[in-house]
Structure 1
Amino acid sequence: MPTLPREQPEPSQPYQASQPSPSHQARQTAESFGADAQRYDQARPRYPDALVARVVADSPGFEVLDVGCGTGIAARQFQAAGCTVLGIDPDARMADTARARGLPVEVATFEAWEPDGRTFDTLIAAQSWHWVDPAAGAAKAARVLRPNGRLAIFGHVFEPPAEVAEPFAAAFRRVAPDSPFSGQPARRPLEAYQAGYAKIADDIRETGRFDAPEQWQYDWQRSYTRDQWLDLLPTTGALTRLRPDQLAEVLAAVGHAIDALGGRFTMHYTTLATAAARSCRR
């Protein structure tokens, strides 16, 4: 499915460490998710509880900075685990929704955000680090983390079955042939996403301010009805920027495909993570 996977790090377009990644340059897309923040908050999946527990257990304390917090989906899980969380997000609409759910948020990109001397035990980025300049982001993370503080970058791999992904891809190409998303394959192998997280680990390693990064993987599944999936789709990638008539045509094609499967399908999720502790040596 072309738009969903591109919310993960993009390994197929190499970039220089000193320059923004292609995803970072697509800031307009990054800031388009707030078009329907309430739907985003209700439809997007949570993160594995085991991942949250592992990050908290490995951190020296309970003060968390959530970069690209969106509506606070991950942040609320860390709050439930006993953490105090501050969110940062460039979209005021997403920030307002997060605040309404009890998360303090400062509106800024991570690159422009001023910590004003504040430091944290943990910095998380849930489905958001690919919008941050990779080299500048890792270096800034080191500056705002306390010694042994934990940097944890994670996100879901969205790859619906071919019976759903291929009708989506065909409809998207039909309604938005000039979109950069139109030339992407309907599905990609998990290894492509793993390569993206390996690149994140390289960026972290190159700062010289973290211990050796770790790579984590959590496999799980969820059943979606037709209506549940069509509720989630408009919150993803390039779909947030389609006209209403274009979006309606894509959703109709996907809905028809799910109907042909009996009105529901099982999504096999993989949640990938790269994590590292800030070195005490620096």
Structure 2
Amino acid sequence: MSDRYADYKRLKFDWPEERILRITMDNPGRLNSADAVMHGELVRVWRDIDADPQVNAVIIRGAGEAFSSGGDLDLVKEMTEDFGTLTRVWKEARDLVYNIINCSKPLVSAMQGPAVGAGLVAGLLADISIASRTARIIDGHTRLGVAAGDHAAIVWPLLCGMAKAKYYLMLCEAVSGEEAERIGLVSLCVEEADLQEKALEVARKLAKGSPSALRWTKYALNNWFRMAGPTFDTSLALEFMGFTGPDAREGLASLKEKRRPNFDPNSAV
């Protein structure tokens, strides 16, 4: 393992095949929720990968039965109470989107169980997104009491159209992997038992392709996201403004109540 990945705590790395780097989001006991450590690591890992000459393709997945269950509620609480934390996470959220978009290496996501929050940013911005049939993709912003900003404002309308984007983002409805494929939100839907092997199969094909051709194809296609930059920046500002208001505090209290005493993926945000 390259030394560049040695100090990561919440992201685990392995090489299933030569030139294929696999990232596993791992927050034990919390269904891989993005706490402060994981959130920061998800921001910077794409720069490390972009600079790594050993990597031709990347897979991102979650440990166990979940992809990622959303923002850690302790971090969300701190954001509602501390302006320094709020502004730090706001900058990280912005950098996370742009770092993934600008990473030259092709990315494959393998989503199962709940796929929410910062993990979902990588899941949907992946060049090839693969979901298990029973995955539950949720943008939980409005349930928390803040605007559905972040990546959602640029990714969902481009992938599945404005009508579907408004329906799922405003109502905070869960999208199964099967439905996500039908509406164009993800590239592929497979049975859960086949998910990891399919992700590896796709990554293998990408790793054997022309690095230059894939890099510049990705760059050109991701200009659709870059052109939506003003929309993204505005939506992100509106989202983070919401964390200073009463709706976010009420939403946080409601979610904490739902998650007791056991951490239920059906209540993940």
Same-fold call, TM > 0.5?
no
Kindly indicate which of the two structures has a greater share of residues assigned to strand.
Answer: 1
Task: Please say which structure displays the higher CA radius of gyration.
Answer: 1
Higher helix share: 2
Q: TM-score, normalised by structure 1?
A: 0.28
Higher relative contact order (CA 8 A, sep 6+): 1
User: Normalization by structure 2: what TM-score?
Assistant: 0.29
